[in-house]
């Protein structure tokens, strides 16, 4: 499932390449036909992310809410070729000349697979496949959807106090709390494991066992890591001192992570074997020495 930095990259892409444009909205698959009719021929005015959810705002006052889930992905087509954000993560494509119809809209290729939503402008097209949620909301419904989410470290309106009030009262393991989108929005399995390692925090420690200073450090580090992910498009959590080549391309790094997916491999800091354990139905990665219980 894409983590929060990917959704913010999606929002920025829509704002840059489709913002202000009138869009044709269709549902080739048919499952979103009603919603597509409500948005068709409307102008896109806004694009924002909150955690793992994308909100596209139209000049009708309505919003398209998309949650990609495990399998959802957007495919974009423009003068630079096709490229994807979500899952599967595919980059690049052949540069192409775009054909336009009599009204000036791009003529996209025939849909491939189950395309839930297709957006077409005069500059390009975007196809959405496999989302776990895709719906049209009015302004009040959009605010209600966001109210159910915790603060997003990448948003300027994020309030870490809101999350801290839940964490400091909870007997639940901090590693489980970080995955709850109503506590902190946008954190997935990688960012939770890597941020806890960087902070030297035992993932099984209950939330109420964290000192306020530890929480402040953890929150600030999540902001740093997510902002770096938005900038590079990749998740790199290792510090330069723990990388074989600090100047390597982030997308091609073999030393990008401290603990995730490194079961049995030596810790980059202490050389202890990294462990993988199940917590709340997800695989938790940790170092038994650097994050001693």
Active-site residue list: 2-3, 52, 282
Cα–Cα distance for residue pair 53/155, rounded to 1 Å: 13
The conformation of residue 41, written as its DSSP 8-state character, comes to T
Instruction: Kindly report whether the peptide bond that precedes residue 88 is cis, defined as omega within 30 degrees of 0.
Output: yes
Cα–Cα distance for residue pair 217/233, rounded to 1 Å: 23
Please answer whether residues 285 and 274 qualify as being in contact, where contact means their C-beta atoms are separated by less than 8 angstroms.
Answer: yes
Please answer whether residues 167 and 183 qualify as being in contact, where contact means their C-beta atoms are separated by less than 8 angstroms.
Answer: yes
What would the DSSP string read from start to end of 225-249?
HHHHHHHHSS---S-GGG-S-TTS-
CB atoms within 10 A of CB 148: 11
Collapsing DSSP to helix, strand or coil, 11 comes out as helix
Please answer whether residues 67 and 169 qualify as being in contact, where contact means their C-beta atoms are separated by less than 8 angstroms.
Answer: no
């Amino acid at each position: 499932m894409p983590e929060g930095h990917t959704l913010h990259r999606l929002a920025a892409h829509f704002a840059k390449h489709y913002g202000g444009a009138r869009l044709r909205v269709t549902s080739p698959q048919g499952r979103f036909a009603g919603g597509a009719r409500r948005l068709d021929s409307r102008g896109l005015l806004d694009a924002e992310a909150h955690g793992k959810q994308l909100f596209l705002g139209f000049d009708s006052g309505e919003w398209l809410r998309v949650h990609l889930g495990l399998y959802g992905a957007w495919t974009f087509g423009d003068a630079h070729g096709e490229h994807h954000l979500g899952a599967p993560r595919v980059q690049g494509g052949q540069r192409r000349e775009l054909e336009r119809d009599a009204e000036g809209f791009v003529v996209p290729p025939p849909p491939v697979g189950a395309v839930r939503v297709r957006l077409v402008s005069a500059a390009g097209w975007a196809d959405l496949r496999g989302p776990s949620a895709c719906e049209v909301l009015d302004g009040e419904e959009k605010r209600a959807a966001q109210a159910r989410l915790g603060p997003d470290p990448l948003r300027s309106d994020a309030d870490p106090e809101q999350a801290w009030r839940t964490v400091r009262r909870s007997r639940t393991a901090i590693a489980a709390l970080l995955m709850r989108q109503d506590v902190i929005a946008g954190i997935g399995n990688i960012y939770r494991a890597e941020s806890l390692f960087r902070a030297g925090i035992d993932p099984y420690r209950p939330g109420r066992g964290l000192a306020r200073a530890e929480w402040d450090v953890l929150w600030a580090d999540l902001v740093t890591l997510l902002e770096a992910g938005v900038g590079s498009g990749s998740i790199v959590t290792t510090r330069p001192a723990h990388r074989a080549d600090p100047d390597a391309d982030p997308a091609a790094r073999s030393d990008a992570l401290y603990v995730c997916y490194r079961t049995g491999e030596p810790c980059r800091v202490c050389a202890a074997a990294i462990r993988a354990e199940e917590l709340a139905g997800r695989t938790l990665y940790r170092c038994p020495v650097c994050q001693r219980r």
